[in-house]
Amino acid sequence: MHFELFPKDTYVSRRRKLSELVGSGLILLMGNEDAAMNYADNCYPFRQDSSFLYYFGLDLTGVAGIIDVDSGREILFGDDPGIDFIIWTGTLPTMAEMAGEVGVITTRPYADLGKLLSEAAGSGRTIHYLPPYRNANLLKLSEWLRQPVAAIKAGHSLSLVRSVIHQRSHKEPREVDAIEKAVSISADMHFTAMHQARPGMKEYELASKVQEVSHAAGGRLSYPIILTVNGHILHNHYYGNTLLDGQMVLVDAGAEESMHYAGDLTRTFPVGRRFSNQQREIYEIVLSSLEKATQMLAPGVRFIDVHARACEELLTGLKAIGLFKGDPAEGVEAGAHTLFFQCGLGHMMGLDVHDMEDLGEQYVGYTEQLGKRKDFGWKSLRLGRELEPGYVLTVEPGIYMIPELMDRWKAENKLASFINYDQLEAYRNFSGIRIENNFLITEDGYHRFGKYLPSGVDEIEAIREEYLAGMA
Report, in Å, the least distance between residue 236 CB and its own copies: 6
Of the residues 41, 368, 375, 458, which one makes contact with its own copies according to CB under 8 A:
41
Give whichever of 329 and 405 is closer to its own copies, judged by the CB atom.
405
Q: For residue 252, state whether it binds its own copies (rule: CB under 8 A).
A: no
Scanning 61-69, 115-123, 217-225, 447-455 for contacts with its own copies by CB under 8 A, the matching segment is: 217-225
Of the residues 13, 89, 106, 417, which one makes contact with its own copies according to CB under 8 A:
89
Give whichever of 218 and 371 is closer to its own copies, judged by the CB atom.
218
Report, in Å, the least distance between residue 27 CB and its own copies: 20
Q: For residue 247, state whether it binds its own copies (rule: CB under 8 A).
A: no
Site string for its own copies, 386-415 (x = CB under 8 A): --------------x-x-xx--x-------
Q: For residue 428, state whether it binds its own copies (rule: CB under 8 A).
A: no
Of the residues 138, 298, 329, 370, which one makes contact with its own copies according to CB under 8 A:
138
HEC-encoded secondary structure of the chain: CCCCCCCHHHHHHHHHHHHHHHCCCEEEEECCCCCEEEECCEECCCCCCHHHHHHHCCCCCCCEEEEECCCCEEEEECCCCCHHHHHHHCCCCCHHHHHHHCCCCEEECCHHHHHHHHHHHHCCCCEECCCCCCHHHHHHHHHHCCCCHHHHHHCCCHHHHHHHHHHHHCCCHHHHHHHHHHHHHHHHHHHHHHHHCCCCCEHHHHHHHHHHHHHHCCCEECCCCEEECCCCCCCCCCCCCECCCCCEEEEEECEECCCCCECCEEEEEECCCCCCHHHHHHHHHHHHHHHHHHHHCCCCCEHHHHHHHHHHHHHHHHHHCCCECCCHHHHHHHCHHHHCCCCCCCCECCCCCCCCHHHCHHHHHCCCCCCCCCCCCHHHCCCCCECCCCCEEEECCEEECCHHHHHHHHHHCCCCCCECHHHHHHHCCCCEEECEEEEEECCCCEEECCCCCCCCHHHHHHHHHHHHHHHC
Give whichever of 54 and 275 is closer to its own copies, judged by the CB atom.
54
- Tell which positions 140-179 bind its own copies, by CB under 8 A: 149
Give whichever of 213 and 440 is closer to its own copies, judged by the CB atom.
213
Q: For residue 99, state whether it binds its own copies (rule: CB under 8 A).
A: no
Give whichever of 74 and 257 is closer to its own copies, judged by the CB atom.
257
Beta strands at 265-270 and 248-253: parallel, antiparallel or unpaired? antiparallel
Q: For residue 91, state whether it binds its own copies (rule: CB under 8 A).
A: yes
Q: For residue 374, state whether it binds its own copies (rule: CB under 8 A).
A: no
- Tell which positions 175-214 bind its own copies, by CB under 8 A: 202, 204-205, 207-209, 211-214
Give whichever of 65 and 231 is closer to its own copies, judged by the CB atom.
231
Scanning 18-26, 46-54, 310-318, 456-464 for contacts with its own copies by CB under 8 A, the matching segment is: 46-54
Q: For residue 60, state whether it binds its own copies (rule: CB under 8 A).
A: no
Q: Which residues bind its own copies (CB under 8 A)?
A: 2, 35-47, 49-50, 83, 86-91, 133-136, 138-139, 149, 202, 204-205, 207-209, 211-216, 218, 223-224, 230, 233-238, 240, 342, 351-354, 356-358, 400, 402, 404-405, 408
